[in-house]
Structure 1
Amino acid sequence: MIYKDIFKVQKNMRAVLLSLVPIVLFSIYIYGQRVLVLLILVTTIGTAAEYMWEKHYGSKASEAVFVTCILYTMTLPPSIPMWIAAIGILFGLFFGKLFFGGFGRNIFNPALVGRAFIYVNFPEPMTISWNVASGFFPGGFSSYLTQEIDAVSSSTPMIMFKNSGALADIKSLVLGTIPGAAGETCKILIIISALYLIYKKTASHEIMLGSVAGFSLLSIVMKFAGVHAANPLYGMMMGGFLFGTVYMATDPISAAKTKAGKWIYGLIIGAVTILIRSMSLFNGGMMFAILIGNTFAPIIDYFVKEAEKKKKEAAI
């Protein structure tokens, strides 16, 4: 069977896949080969599910499913049980994409729909992260495949700051030699990937900059107001903010599409992330902030278009 008979060829998706290669390789290096096994499992299950669904309706699976599976895997802690990861990708694809009509019709980012589902239903394994792979850290492509969570678990920088106010070393945060989700750790690689995606015109720089601006401005305001919040630099280096900004918030299907709307959409995501981190029980916030942004994206675009229409009518 020819590849093009199974999948819709999507050049933009291939650019995203290429940008993810260094992040995936670094994750396997740091946390060991369990990340690779997890990625293969999730991708196999996800692509098979979409292929069978689309085939039933006489259509092809989209190459976007590979992006969804990889992004979903990269948002998981490496110690996550395989069966929970499998449930999450199936839920995300069906309830975040396929039930809406497939690629191009989904309201929410399907990778985050899957992650949110297992985060709510399986909170303990979703908040435990490896600090060691095969007895040392970094892992160095270790063959460490078992969990042994009690022996190797450690608090992520986000949990540590939330509980005690302590900040991790900035060098470790930037380089990614910290416990956390599989793909969110090395900020250098994420920033390089962002520049590449902007160059290829695959991801919106307006959304990225808007998200950073919303996050930074509200961080400063809340810090001066005496609210428990890290300074913007540390805040952006902790958790999945940068990874979510580059790869999830900029999803062209679920994000705002007008130029002004993209800025507003990004500002909302950045600001809501800080609100959730500082004023809720959740340690992170980016995941829920993006899903909230997805909810308002069509409304934002509607009002932006209406405002532009009235402006043109007034100029006539």
Structure 2
Amino acid sequence: MNLSLKNIKFMKQMMMRKVVYSLIPLVLAGIYFFGWRVLALLIVVNFFGCATEWVFVRKTTKKITEAVFVTNVLFTLTLPPSTPYWIAIIGIIFGVLFGKMVFGGFGKNPFNPALVGRAFIYVNFPEFLTLHWTKPVGGLLGGFTSYLGENIDAVTQSTPMLIFRASGDQLPLTKLLFGNIGGSIGETSAILIILAAIYLIYTKTAAKETIFSVITGFLVMSGVFYIAGFEQVLNPIYGLFAGGLLFGAVFMATDPISSPKTFEARIVYGLLIGAITVIIRSFALFAGGIMFAILIGNTFAPIMDEAVKSIKNSRKAKEVKNG
């Protein structure tokens, strides 16, 4: 295998570049909060993610897609900062391989590759993704002066979702907005995610109906349970900014390949993801339900599109018959 730079060619995809641009502030914030290990982890993941796709296209006329960079960055941002490199490598190889390449490559994958990879290591190596968290680095320069922040041993000082599950306590909303909390690298700062969403919507890179329907489904379902008195259900507004809901809604659910193509199906798709997230968060073993909710939504996305098309065709046939 001759993996030299002259043999590597990338397919230019402007839409994917825009997604990468929107993720740069989150990467910088990750370094600021947790240290330079975030960048090191990102470099390692990008190398093995690109190499995995290259293995499949090296003897064909196809090129490595720039979409793989989106997969690599998103996957990295869903990891705790202290995730061992070998686990990250296994995750990204599995995600690119079984989440995309085995289905024929870019444009044919039914599931979000980044989430496929994360779900795989989440299930197989749960300790490293649910118990090992990093305390944000303090000071003016934050993590830019450190390799990695201090480890957090106590569950009651870890992530917003785990803190609520362990003690029922809730962190100040200001911490959730600015990101000065423990958690996965890219899921901590709600403000940066919201700014990225505005950019992606403005540039027509992400479907706004998907983003808003995920949020709506989450708020409605959590609101119903919260008002009904279920103690394990978070306040809807607090839950919106905790646990990666916004990150998943903006960057994962809007994946143009694994999400529905029709407007109506996107609405149903988003509402389904939002509602399932609440159920998994509140009544299942997993604190972060958005990952599994999106993968479930991916499963039904093609069916939703077909249902919408069938209904529209049926209506047209009736109009022609009655006209």
Normalized against structure 2, the TM-score is what?
A: 0.93
Q: 1-side partners of 2:205 and 2:151: how far apart?
A: 40
User: In 1, are the aligned partners of 2:143 and 2:149 still within 8 Å (CA)?
Assistant: no
Cα distance change on mapping 1:124 and 1:50 into 2, 3 Å:
same
Q: 1:47 aligns with which of 47, 50, 58?
A: 50
The one-letter code sitting in structure 1 at the alignment partner of 2:215 is: V
**Is it true that 1:260 corresponds to 2:264 in the alignment?**
yes
Q: 1:251 aligns with which of 255, 262, 265?
A: 255
Deviates more, 1:138-147 or 1:102-111: 138-147
Gaps of 5+ in 2: none
Name the residue aligned to 1:305.
Answer: 309
Q: 2:29 aligns with which of 26, 39, 46?
A: 26
User: In 2, are the aligned partners of 1:132 and 1:152 still within 8 Å (CA)?
Assistant: no
Name the residue aligned to 1:79.
Answer: 82
SS of the residue corresponding to residue 140 of structure 1 reads helix
Cα distance change on mapping 1:303 and 1:6 into 2, 3 Å:
same
Which string of whole-angstrom CA distances, capped at 9 and with x for unpartnered residues, describes residues 58-116 of structure 1? 32110000010000000000011111000000000000000000000000000000000
1:1-316 equivalent positions in 2, closer than 5 A: 6-127=9-130, 128-133=132-137, 139-145=142-148, 150=153, 154-227=157-230, 228-316=232-320
User: In 1, are the aligned partners of 2:213 and 2:274 still within 8 Å (CA)?
Assistant: yes
Q: 2-side partners of 1:281 and 1:57: how far apart?
A: 44
User: In 1, are the aligned partners of 2:133 and 2:151 still within 8 Å (CA)?
Assistant: no
The one-letter code sitting in structure 2 at the alignment partner of 1:82 is: Y
Q: 2-side partners of 1:132 and 1:31: how far apart?
A: 5
Cα distance change on mapping 1:149 and 1:223 into 2, 3 Å:
closer
Identity %: 53
User: In 1, are the aligned partners of 2:280 and 2:289 still within 8 Å (CA)?
Assistant: yes
Cα distance change on mapping 1:141 and 1:220 into 2, 3 Å:
same
Q: 1-side partners of 2:8 and 2:135: how far apart?
A: 43
Gaps of 5+ in 1: none
SS of the residue corresponding to residue 118 of structure 1 reads helix
Cα distance change on mapping 1:71 and 1:232 into 2, 3 Å:
same
CA RMSD of aligned residues (A): 2.1
Q: 2-side partners of 1:162 and 1:274: how far apart?
A: 14
Q: For this pair of structures, how many residues does the alignment match?
A: 315
The one-letter code sitting in structure 1 at the alignment partner of 2:58 is: K
